[in-house]
């Protein structure tokens, strides 16, 4: 038996007991190694995923293979919003960015519960609005802000979804997430390390000064966090 509990996921933690009891027996534990693909662009979605310790990156992949991250999902949310929004596919790829665990639920079961128009519907619609805010702000950030600011935003959003201040991620993977050249990530990480904000060694990033990182970051991180806190105040207290 896994040590984790599905209600380590913050959305599941705030479900009313009657709705939780209807669904609780159907959750399946899933270990998610780094790089695991949950679905490809245009692929059929059969399950939704509720991370507990894993982080999943939603990536848009171009025809030439280039990619850029449009959002990340961790213990605060779920992967697969198309299943209850009326679609069965998504135009992006979902891939595990930070290894960990999650629980999955068959999409048909979630849709049945969603269609009851109860608490889970209201919760998931508010979560979807928060996720759309993250996607929109990421697009703005990638267009108008420096690689160093983008890296700070990405680090802070990742930290919010992890139990520690340590991330395992190569510069090449970060470059793919941000949609920039690896050299740009190398320079940005070097600047942050020189300023004493992070340490970076062989794919291990340790955040040493979170307040300093927030000071260097553009406004995009705070916009996303503020909107999430506004829409889902019961989750932000978890």
- Residue labelled with tokens 């889902």: 232
DSSP 78: -
For residues 205 and 8, what is the distance between their CA atoms, to the nearest angstrom? 25
- pLDDT band of residue 14 (cuts 50, 70, 90) is very high
Give the mean model confidence (pLDDT) for residues 119-140: 95
Q: What percent of the chain lies above the pLDDT cut of 70?
A: 97
Residue-wise pLDDT tens digits, 60-111: 988 888 888 999 999 999 999 988 888 778 878 999 999 999 999 999 999 9
CATH of the domain at 205: 1.10.10.10
How long a stretch of residues is the chain?
A: 238
DSSP lists the bridge partners of residue 29 as 103
Give the residue, 91 or 151, on which the prediction is more confident.
Answer: 151
Residue 74 shares a structural domain with residue 19: yes
- pLDDT band of residue 170 (cuts 50, 70, 90) is confident
Residue 215: half-sphere exposure toward Cβ, Cα within 13 Å: 8
- In a domain, residue 163? The reply is yes
- pLDDT band of residue 1 (cuts 50, 70, 90) is very low
- In a domain, residue 83? The reply is yes
Backbone φ and ψ of 183, nearest 5°: -60, -35
- In a domain, residue 87? The reply is yes
Please determine, for residue 3, whether its predicted confidence score (pLDDT) is greater than 60: no
Number of Cβ atoms within 10 Å of the Cβ of 159:
17
- pLDDT band of residue 234 (cuts 50, 70, 90) is confident
Residue 233: half-sphere exposure toward Cβ, Cα within 13 Å: 1
Given a contact cutoff of 8 angstroms between Cβ atoms, the answer to whether 162 and 55 are in contact is yes
Query: E strands of the chain, at which residues?
Result: 28-32, 37-39, 47-51, 55-61, 67-73, 93-98, 100-106, 166-168, 198-201, 204-207
Please determine, for residue 20, whether its predicted confidence score (pLDDT) is greater than 50: yes
Give the mean model confidence (pLDDT) for residues 196-222: 94
- In a domain, residue 232? The reply is no
| β-pairing verdict for 93-98 and 37-39 | antiparallel
Residue 237: half-sphere exposure toward Cβ, Cα within 13 Å: 6
Residue-wise pLDDT tens digits, 114-124: 999 899 999 99
Last residue of a domain, one of 116, 132, 167: 116
For residues 145 and 219, what is the distance between their CA atoms, to the nearest angstrom? 10
- Could you tell me the pTM of the whole model? 0.91
pLDDT value at position 2?
Answer: 52
- In a domain, residue 150? The reply is yes
- In a domain, residue 133? The reply is no
Q: How open is the CA angle 95-73-10, to the nearest 5 degrees?
A: 135
CATH of the domain at 30: 2.60.120.10
Residue 85 shares a structural domain with residue 159: no
Last residue of a domain, one of 78, 98, 116: 116
Mean pLDDT in the chain?
91
Residue 48 shares a structural domain with residue 150: no
Domain of 220, in residue numbers: 142-225
Give the mean model confidence (pLDDT) for residues 152-176: 90
């Amino acid at each position: 038996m896994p040590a984790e509990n599905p209600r380590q996921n913050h959305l599941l933690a705030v479900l009313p007991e009657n709705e939780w009891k209807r669904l609780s027996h159907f959750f399946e534990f899933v270990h998610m190694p780094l790089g695991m693909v949950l679905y490809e662009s245009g692929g059929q979605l059969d399950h939704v995923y509720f991370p507990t310790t894993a982080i999943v990156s939603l990536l848009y992949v171009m025809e030439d293979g280039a990619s850029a991250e449009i959002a990340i999902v961790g213990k605060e949310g779920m992967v697969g919003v198309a299943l209850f929004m009326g679609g069965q596919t998504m135009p992006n790829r979902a891939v595990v960015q930070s290894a960990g665990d999650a629980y999955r639920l068959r999409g048909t079961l979630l849709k049945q519960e969603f269609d009851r128009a109860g608490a889970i519907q209201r919760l998931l619609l508010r979560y979807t609005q928060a996720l759309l805010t993250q996607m929109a702000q990421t697009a703005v950030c990638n267009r108008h802000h420096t690689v160093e600011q983008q890296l700070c935003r990405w680090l802070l959003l990742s930290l919010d979804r992890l139990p520690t201040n340590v991330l395992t991620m190569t510069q090449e993977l970060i470059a793919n997430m941000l949609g920039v050249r690896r050299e740009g990530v190398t320079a940005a990480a070097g600047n942050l390390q020189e300023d004493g904000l992070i340490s970076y060694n062989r794919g291990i990033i340790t955040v040493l000064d979170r307040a300093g990182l927030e000071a260097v970051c553009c406004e995009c991180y705070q916009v996303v966090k503020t909107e999430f806190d506004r829409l889902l105040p019961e989750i932000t207290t978890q």
